[in-house]
Amino acid sequence: MAYKIILSSGKEIYLGLEKSVDRITIQNTLPLPPDIKIIYELSPNKSKFLNELKVHLMQMEVSTEIYPSFEKLESINLANFIYFDGFSRNKLIHEIHKLADATDLVFIMWKKFTESHLPSDGQKS
């Protein structure tokens, strides 16, 4: 069973009930925007970007998967899990907001990564 949660900011987060493992999965898949995808594919700093992103998300305790691969990044899947033995309404709301914050972090880091590949004012003719 799956639900789409739309936050007041307009962000979409997906919630799924997995009965086979008695847990709730809260996730969001973020496709790489086309302009960032081109910059990413041409960048020599791919590993730095993904390593920094992964470290920040690990500190937030958010599970991260890169699709389909490091070299051909097309999307990033973010997820949190709540097992029923630790379930509470407070925990659910906290995890939803944590995933929303993680989504914001990905967009902020994408912006920073993109801007780092644009010519600076001193380089423009």
pLDDT in tens, 77-95: 999 999 988 889 999 999 9
Q: Is residue 49 assigned to a domain?
A: yes
Cα gap 22→14, rounded to integer Å:
17
Does the pLDDT of residue 119 top 80, yes or no? no
Share of the chain above pLDDT 70, in %: 95
As a whole number, mean pLDDT of residues 24-43 equals 90
Cα gap 1→58, rounded to integer Å:
27
pLDDT in tens, 51-65: 999 999 999 999 999
Closest CA to 98 of 121, 116, 81: 81
Q: Is residue 88 assigned to a domain?
A: yes
What angle (nearest 5°) sits at the alpha carbon of residue 42, between those of residues 38 and 47? Answer: 105
How many domains does the structure of the chain reveal? 1
pTM of the complete model = 0.83
CATH number for the domain that contains residue 86: 3.30.1460.10
Least confident residue range of 7-11, 50-54, 96-100: 7-11
Q: Is residue 92 assigned to a domain?
A: yes
Q: Is residue 77 assigned to a domain?
A: yes
